[in-house]
Structure 1
């Protein structure tokens, strides 16, 4: 954020602004995956050189979110990114009412090499 923008924002702060802001530091488990390569004798049953199976879980939850009271600090009410092109934030898109957390997903992949 530029010094000029920061000065403008600080000049326009009022005591009521604190009612609508909160820290949103967090640590999130975004993706965990596990891959197992089958032994060669099992792969040969499928006439393959190699078979690997991958299980992945996405958006499992938060490890640490002490101050943020909403569901997910990355999700806004209109679903767009909260950061502008110049690195600042669009103040009004920080609202997180009417939101749902990011979907938890489980995926599986099978990689077969012949």
Structure 2
């Protein structure tokens, strides 16, 4: 019991350290990139480089993964609750959620290619 608790605390401490570090760096450099995403990327790199071992994280990450679907249930319930509204306005929703971001990515990619050729 104590060994399992110690593993859980170590795992939670490692995950929390990456998250707090990402928040601190994000605040220090005034970056608008989401800190949880940069923490996940840093943790992934640490795992790939062997700095952090996977078995150090499993006891703390396993409960998070078990309950992760609960975070998505409210969004899915809201969509199901308003299915008539979604059915009525599917085209504007499609444009806003898919087409407009694709056009934005295309424009940004084109601009970056032209700027890269000038340098």
Compare the two structures and name the one with the higher strand fraction: 1
Compare the two structures and name the one with the higher helix fraction: 2
Higher RCO, 1 vs 2 (CA within 8 Å, ≥6 residues apart): 1
TM value normalised by structure 1: 0.23
Q: Give 1 or 2 for the bigger CA radius of gyration.
A: 1
TM value normalised by structure 2: 0.22
